[in-house]
Chain A
């Protein structure tokens, strides 16, 4: 079965600083990978996804992520963080085959300092 690990429970950055959120997955083949963002009391918004092809994917709100097969990683990055980016970020993996559900990591809470 697939699994996702987000090593950082909480990250604090200053507004304007760069950001990298880590995500490692465990799966036997090339997975489908996602990053979602959740603001307090809100639903999950899809930031970006990787299915195949170019390993650097661009998402909404200026986010990007890079799939590195050799490291089983799919880290999320943003060059300059805005105060409105404060939220919880979830990495998720979907496996090939009949199983269609997403498996989520435990999330990383991002705090942005003024």
Chain B
């Protein structure tokens, strides 16, 4: 079965650089969520999109922005990167017409800021 695809899987950036993370949801899933998992931490919700509109916002820094495109893929843009942004970033998707809480997670993008 198709799963959530995230790219890149690994990313190394320097402080103050920018990064773009991409997420391709499972086909026919219309809701996308972004989570950040710091080392030894639990995943923290950042932001979500439903039908290309932002639906909820969590603890996302102002330096980060995200959007969902017409093909339902989503991109998380991160600017002025800080060392503390080093984390595993997960994308999850939910099926259209299904439970909004049935979230399927991708493998994550590991961002390292040096």
Chain A interface (Cβ within 8 Å of chain B)? 32, 34, 36, 41-46, 49, 51, 90, 94, 98-107
Contact = CB atoms under 8 A, between A and B. Distances in A.
A79 B34 CA distance: 34
A100 B104 contact: no
A16 B89 CA distance: 34
A104 B90 CA distance: 13
A105 B42 CA distance: 6
Interface string B10-33: 000000000000000000000101
B66 to A, nearest CB: 13
Contacts of B44: 104
Given A42-B107, A43-B90, A98-B56, A103 B45 contact: yes
Quick one: which of A43, A45, A46, A90 has the most chain B CB within 10 A? Answer: A43
A76 B99 CA distance: 22
Contact of A99 (B31, B56, B104, B105): B56
Contacts of B50: 100
A100 B103 CA distance: 10
Nearest to A101: B45
B42 A101 contact: no
Nearest to A33: B101
A36 B55 contact: no
23 contacts: A32-B99, A36-B105, A43-B90, A45-B105, A46-B102, A46-B104, A46-B105, A49-B102, A94-B100, A94-B101, A100-B56, A100-B94, A100-B100, A101-B45, A101-B48, A101-B58, A102-B45, A102-B103, A104-B42, A104-B43, A104-B44, A106-B41, A106-B42
A100 B43 contact: no
A98 B54 CA distance: 12
Interface in B62-89: none
Given A43-B108, A90-B42, A107-B42, A100 B101 contact: yes
